[in-house]
Amino acid sequence: MMEALRTRGLSKTFKTKKKDAGLAGSIRAMWKPQWEEKDAVQSVDLLVREGESVAFLGPNGAGKSTTIKMLTGILHPTSGEAEVLGFVPWKERTKLAYRIGAVFGQKSQLWYHLPPVDTFELISRMYELRRGDYLERSRDLIERFELGPYMNTPVRKLSLGERMRCEIAASLLHRPRMLFLDEPTIGLDAIAKQRIRELIRERNRSEGVTVFLTSHDAADVEAMCTRAIVIHHGGVLLDEPVDKMKREILSRKTVSLTMASASISLQLSEPKFPGIEGAEIIATEGRTIKLSVDLKRIGIEEVLGRVLGSMRLDDVSVEDPPLEEIIKHIYGLHRERLQEEEVTI
């Protein structure tokens, strides 16, 4: 398979002016600026082949967005190399733009006051699409993404889910070979998320579009990606098939227990609560305790049975762990290997 993306030692250090609080601080910073350096991305090596669908994961501040900005040519790296579809992104940004699509969940590329139909037209001019091609392509995308009812409504009046569908369709108008998606489902409700996931997966399968996405939602990764790359403090920590990662996810559940008020003191005075092998406390908030249960060691029924035997509860919920938890768990699992390789996390 052809290479879609390769980086070697890709790094970005941000230099920012340090400023103390208040007016005096601002004046001091202007008079005698002190610089602070922040290593956002540290020596990232990546190889993605055409047609792959890759999740690029890591906790807040791990450097995911900064990496995507370098790969799409928005930011210049401090050091290192990258090639995306044969182009050096920050040197050949325009050429690359004809071949990639980019969607940033937090930032719209649609004109806020215009209906999507006008933005689609503008995009077709920007990319110099042939009229016939453009009309056929936009008709196809409008149908697949079910955008018909919204095409003439100003974007500002659309729901977030409708807008995101328009965003992704707009990013596909010029038939990009690769799609960068930075948190494409952020803020959406469950149904809207599901639709976005199906649409992206379908583009990957039917058109072979290479997908590179970041998300904080484990279900996004499961639904859209076959491979997961986890970065931490910039460097690549883990790179493995999502199936393998899923086995980790499926072997753990998060159980939230909301206690009847009379039981609170019991919980707080017993740090090892509930003293069950295979269940550990990951958070407490008011009367609610969150447990991470390792299903390889203990069943949910047994945990609940033992909890109910010792206290009164108002509410219980059982969920898949949030992605941040899974990643933390992965860090734990890999700590030994990392120490052997003398990598600190």
Minimum Å gap between C-beta 106 and ligand ATP is 8
C-beta of 45 vs 294, nearer to ligand ATP: 45
Q: Which of 33, 61, 208, 275 binds ligand ATP (CB under 6 A)?
A: 61
C-beta of 14 vs 112, nearer to ligand ATP: 14
Q: Any contact of residue 329 with ligand ATP (CB under 6 A)?
A: no
C-beta of 35 vs 272, nearer to ligand ATP: 35
Q: Any contact of residue 204 with ligand ATP (CB under 6 A)?
A: no
Nearest partner of 38 among 284, 234, 249, judged by Cα: 234
Q: Which of 7, 65, 210, 263 binds ligand ATP (CB under 6 A)?
A: 65
Cα gap 25→51, rounded to integer Å:
51
Question: What are the DSSP calls for 48-80, one per residue?
Answer: EETT-EEEEE-STTSSHHHHHHHHTTSS--SEE
Cα gap 182→71, rounded to integer Å:
12
Helix (H) or strand (E) holding 188, with range, is none
C-beta of 160 vs 298, nearer to ligand ATP: 160
Minimum Å gap between C-beta 10 and ligand ATP is 12
Among 23-31, 47-55, 61-69, 220-228, the segment contacting ligand ATP (CB under 6 A): 61-69
Cβ atoms < 10 Å from Cβ of 159: 12
Q: Any contact of residue 16 with ligand ATP (CB under 6 A)?
A: yes
Q: Any contact of residue 17 with ligand ATP (CB under 6 A)?
A: no
C-beta of 39 vs 302, nearer to ligand ATP: 39
Nearest partner of 91 among 68, 109, 75, judged by Cα: 75
Residue 109, burial from CB neighbour count under 10 angstroms (0-12, 13-18, 19+): middle
Q: Any contact of residue 267 with ligand ATP (CB under 6 A)?
A: no
Q: Any contact of residue 14 with ligand ATP (CB under 6 A)?
A: yes
Q: Say which residue the tokens 């003293």 belong to.
A: 275
Residues 6+ apart with CB under 8 A from 227: 52, 53, 54, 55, 239, 240, 241, 242
C-beta of 44 vs 62, nearer to ligand ATP: 62
Q: Considering CB under 6 A, how many residues would be counted as binding ligand ATP?
A: 12
Q: Any contact of residue 33 with ligand ATP (CB under 6 A)?
A: no
Q: Say which residue the tokens 């599901």 belong to.
A: 194
Cα gap 145→104, rounded to integer Å:
18
Cα gap 184→304, rounded to integer Å:
36
Q: Any contact of residue 60 with ligand ATP (CB under 6 A)?
A: yes
C-beta of 162 vs 325, nearer to ligand ATP: 325
Q: Any contact of residue 38 with ligand ATP (CB under 6 A)?
A: yes
C-beta of 60 vs 265, nearer to ligand ATP: 60
Helix (H) or strand (E) holding 126, with range, is helix 116-126
Contacting positions for ligand ATP (CB under 6 A): 14, 16, 38, 40, 58, 60-66
